[in-house]
Structure 1
Amino acid sequence: MALTDEAMEKIKAMIVAGKLAPGSRLPKEEVLAGQLGLSRNSLREAVRALTAMRILVVRQGDGTYVSSLEPHLLLETLSFASDVSQGRTALQLLQVRRLLEPQATGLAAALLTSKDLRELGDILERAKSAATVEEFVVYDTAFHARIVEAVGNPVLSMLLRVLSTRTQRVRIVRGSRARRAVENAHRDHDQILGALRARDALLAASTAAVHITAVEQWLAASLIEEPVEPLAD
């Protein structure tokens, strides 16, 4: 195990054991390095890495603290993986989204207020006036996020944002026949909203599943159609 990895594991072990509670300040560098049997350089590298993972927070002029460790905060670091995902990795993320989002949409049918439903309708109207794929995806993302937020579970909301980031959605729409993809999305969105307005949880979940599955099937088909490179001699 690399020294930096060892240092990270030791700090995480202190957090898990309760020796460093969420929001607590880490001991001074020289003190913590001595406690863990690490060099100060290894400790610094570990702190940088754990800060990037949102496990630690550096406050300039004040010191280094353990973050709140809320799951939705820690999940934010996974957004980059979704942003850069392509091919089979993007397909796998969509498959996980299909397992989660329809259920959340069904739950939202009983939780969305009349105001929420009006706001969702407004989002869809603006989406239909979008001039570019990027603008459409802004509203597409907002529509789905607003529905999931009604469930009141920030971990679920963040996880679904991670599984389908705006960057990933733009790439998928652009990779398909963009105009047809957007038209199909408008139709699906209208059906989802109709089910939510009817307070029909089963129909809301079903229409959301159909919507996500259509994107998943297109992406799967595009992978099959990819040309296979010849083996090197």
Structure 2
Amino acid sequence: MAVTDLAIEKIKQMILSGELKPGDRLPREADLAERLGLSRSSLREAVRALTLIHVLDVRQGDGTYVTSLSPDLLLDAMAFVIDFHGDDTVLQFFEVRRIIEPAAASMAAQRMSEEAVDKLAEVMSGIRPETDIEEFVAADLEFHRQVADGSGNPVLASLVESMSGPTHRARVWRGVTQESAVARSLAEHDAIVRAIRAREPEVARSWATVHVAGVEQWLREALILPEG
């Protein structure tokens, strides 16, 4: 294991063991390096890496702190990376969506309150096939966010959101180029809502799979990838 990786692992173990908790300040660099048996340069590199992924927060003139470690904060780094990938790579993110969003819909069917289901139904209520595509995609993103929140699992909800936003361009593209894409999506959204309201987790899972897989399949067929 590289020295920097070892330093990262040792700091991670301090957090996982509870020795360092969210909001705690790290010991002075010299003291921590000696305690962990590391050089100060290796420790510094580890802190830099953990800061980039929002595990640590370096406050100039104050010290280095463990962040809140909330899922949405930690997954910001993932969304940042996703934004820099090309259209061919976005297919991989749709594959992940096809795995996690049906699970979120299934859990929502078991855990979502009636009030939350009513709000979910309202998200797409004003959308029509002739609606401006940007307006439709914004409502679509909100729909998926609410389903994920309804799962009652904040880690899963953050994963869904981190995967959903970066596929925005592909969704707009589909809405512009594929005839009846909006009408089809509206029907699938409605089926998901009805399954959640009926407390049928497997039906909700199935419709969510159909919904995400449909966009993924369209993109596979529409995307022109380079030869070789």
Query: What's the TM-score, normalizing by structure 2?
Result: 0.80
Give distance in 2, aligned partners of 1:30 and 1:121: 56
Give distance in 2, aligned partners of 1:83 and 1:67: 23
Displacement of 1:159 in angstroms is 1.4
RMSD: 2.9
Q: Larger deviation: 38-47 or 146-155?
A: 38-47
Q: Secondary structure at 2:188's aligned position in 1?
A: helix
Q: Secondary structure at 2:64's aligned position in 1?
A: strand
Q: Which amino acid aligns with 1:205?
A: R
**1:25-71 CA distance string (max 9 Å, x none):** 11112323444455545543432321121211234543211234355
Q: Secondary structure at 1:204's aligned position in 2?
A: helix
For residues 168-179 of structure 1, the aligned pairs below 5 Å read 168-174=167-173, 177=177
**1:1-27 CA distance string (max 9 Å, x none):** 776555434433444555534432111
Match of 1:131 in 2: 132
Give distance in 1, aligned partners of 2:53 and 2:168: 24
Match of 1:221 in 2: 221
Tell me: CA distance 1:52–1:127, structure 2 relative to 1, closer, same or farther (3 Å).
Answer: farther
Match of 1:147 in 2: 147
Q: Larger deviation: 93-102 or 20-29?
A: 20-29
**1:181-233 CA distance string (max 9 Å, x none):** 3332222212222333333333222211111110111122234x53527xxxx
1:185 matches 2:185: yes
**1:74-122 CA distance string (max 9 Å, x none):** 2332112333343443222222221222132123223333322221122
Give distance in 1, aligned partners of 2:211 and 2:174: 17
Match of 2:206 in 1: 206
State the identity as a percent. 45
For residues 59-208 of structure 1, the aligned pairs below 5 Å read 59-128=59-128, 131-133=132-134, 135-164=135-164, 166-174=165-173, 177=177, 180-208=180-208
Q: Secondary structure at 1:57's aligned position in 2?
A: strand
Does the CA contact (< 8 Å) of 2:107 and 2:152 recur in 1? no
Does the CA contact (< 8 Å) of 1:98 and 1:213 recur in 2? yes
Does the CA contact (< 8 Å) of 1:195 and 1:203 recur in 2? yes
Give distance in 1, aligned partners of 2:183 and 2:84: 25
Query: What's the TM-score, normalizing by structure 1?
Result: 0.79
Give distance in 2, aligned partners of 1:19 and 1:115: 41
Give distance in 2, aligned partners of 1:219 and 1:161: 20
Give distance in 2, aligned partners of 1:103 and 1:144: 12
Q: Which amino acid aligns with 1:174?
A: W
Does the CA contact (< 8 Å) of 2:137 and 2:171 recur in 1? no
Q: Secondary structure at 2:111's aligned position in 1?
A: coil
Q: Which amino acid aligns with 2:170?
A: R
Give distance in 1, aligned partners of 2:33 and 2:99: 44
Does the CA contact (< 8 Å) of 2:108 and 2:152 recur in 1? no
For residues 42-61 of structure 1, the aligned pairs below 5 Å read 42-61=42-61
Q: Which amino acid aligns with 2:53?
A: M
Give distance in 2, aligned partners of 1:4 and 1:146: 40
